[in-house]
Amino acid sequence: MKTAHSLFLTGSLLFALSGLVPAHAAVDEEAAKALAKKNDCFKCHAVDKTKKGPSYQKIAAKFKGKPDGEEKCIKNITSGLKVKLEDGSEEDHKIIDTKDQNEMKNLCGWILSR
């Protein structure tokens, strides 16, 4: 009976503690905005309106909830892919000026949370 009681307590403790660890790390909104500003992202994108490029809300709607959404976002900001602009023209997407994976994930997390 002691073993069952110990297992129950251990399981209960682990369950309670699991609520303290978020499934995804919280987005540092200020750091994401600072990185976007430093890289002139707001020249072509806005949170809620279309500029030269789509709004972050439109980007989020396209990728949010998809298992490869963050991966595709990071690829777009790091590889200089051709992107189609709102006027129909194409150009190479600017490559973000950071090699820090955490900064890239934070920026994409912020974009996808719009």
Q: What are the sequence ranges of the domains in the chain?
A: 27-112
pTM: predicted TM-score of the whole model, two decimal places: 0.76
3-state secondary structure of 62: helix
Considering just the CA atoms, what is the radius of gyration of the chain in Å?
Answer: 20
Burial class, 96, CB count within 10 angstroms (exposed 0-12 / middle 13-18 / buried 19+): buried
85 compared with 37, residue with greater pLDDT? 37
CATH code: domain 27-112 is 1.10.760.10
Q: pLDDT band at residue 21, thresholds of 50, 70 and 90?
A: very low
Handedness of CA 92, 97, 101, 102 (dihedral sign): negative
Structure tokens at 63: 């990728």
Residue carrying the six token digits 């298992």: 67
**What's the pLDDT score for residue 65?**
86
Cβ atoms < 10 Å from Cβ of 106? 19
